[in-house]
Amino acid sequence: MAQEKRRPARPQVLLLGNGVNRAFGGGSWGQLIRDISCNDALPEGCSLHLPMPLRAILVTGDNVGVQLRNAGDILYGKLGDPGHVEMLQRLLSMGFDHILTTNFSYELEQAAQPGLHLSEQKLRHMMRHTDGRRQAEAKYLFYTYGTLDWQGKLTKVWHIHGEGRKPDSMILGHYSYANLLEKISGYIRAEEGRYRREQGQGENVRIRSWADAFLFGDVYVLGFGFDVSEFDLWWLLNHKKREHASVGGTWFFSPAERLEPGEINEKEELLRVLGAQVRHCGSLRIEGGPLERSRAFRRFYDKAMNEIAELMRENRARGI
């Protein structure tokens, strides 16, 4: 009796936020908001509490795109600390099939080519697109990714909210977030038949967009806080739970928060409700100044990467 054909392991996907860069002195999203601020009606140094997409509209007077185009090289990011380079190179060495990043900047690309100036021409040369488009997109980089050759393995890096050299592609204001969500939901509705057909043939779903990688890959979330303002990704996580085709798992890595009796971490509970597994690697309560906090977060990332590597081995060995 012939053995049933074993489907290959799901794609292994890293969802990478800005946390690793912050651990080595990189700029925050709050700093970016300050850098692009131009609304003279706001008192200097005033505190803003709106969600990030609405805050971007407020501080730019609803001219987010114009201010991003004026931001220049600050959107490219910088690598200075050798430890920063080493940590990013370690991530590249872990063998992810896809890296989805919410960062506009190019720290990963710089780490893969240490010592080389990352020019506009080099970045354009790395760009590819799936068969979902005839050419790389200028806006909403849904089918467009960069290729990184690290130690003989090509990794696809998707700047899911845009990239620094293409200001029109950057998702920052509320309007652009909503347009992106509309694109995601319309795409998935159109592709659902393909998902079931390909899986019914004993194959993995072809990754034609970064949304496919999120849905059908095993996703490891690192350095990304899943802020409630990231409503495109919350929607996609919710859909991942509801999708009729067989999807991958989701693991969220974060330091543990010390809670008072009767308190809960609402965000982590919501992640669990939507099917993600929450993994704690150390404690969020860190005593001392910026240097001590930075060292503590580096220890967290080291532990988290060890755990991710073990999960990837298990998931690849298991297949589907």
* pLDDT, average across residues 56-63: 87
65 has a pLDDT exceeding 90: no
Q: Supply 228's token pair.
A: 């409630």
Q: At what angle do helices 52-59 and 174-200 cross, to 10 degrees?
A: 140
171 has a pLDDT exceeding 90: yes
> Strand, coil or helix: what is 167?
helix
262 has a pLDDT exceeding 90: no
Average pLDDT of the chain, as a whole number = 89
Task: Show the DSSP H helices in the chain as ranges.
Answer: 19-23, 29-35, 52-59, 64-71, 82-93, 107-112, 120-126, 174-200, 210-216, 231-242, 266-273, 290-318
* CA 86 to chain CA mean position, Å: 19
pTM value is 0.93
Band of pLDDT at residue 37, cut at 50, 70 and 90: confident
User: For tokens 């200001």, what's the residue?
Assistant: 167
**Per-residue pLDDT tens digits for 4-19:** 556 678 999 999 999 9
Q: What was the pLDDT predicted at 1?
A: 41
Q: Supply 9's token pair.
A: 């392991």
Q: Supply 284's token pair.
A: 């969020």
Whether 244 and 215 have beta carbons less than 8 Å apart is answered as no
Q: Which among 203, 122, 211, 204 has a CA at the least distance from the CA of 160?
A: 211
**144-150 and 250-256 beta bridge pairing:** unpaired
Name the strand (E) or helix (H) holding 13.
strand 12-16
* pLDDT, average across residues 125-154: 92
Whether 207 and 216 have beta carbons less than 8 Å apart is answered as yes
Beta-ladder partners of 278:
252
Q: What was the pLDDT predicted at 284?
A: 64
Domain ranges, ordered by start, for the chain: 12-318
As a whole-number percent, the residues of the chain with pLDDT over 90 amount to 57
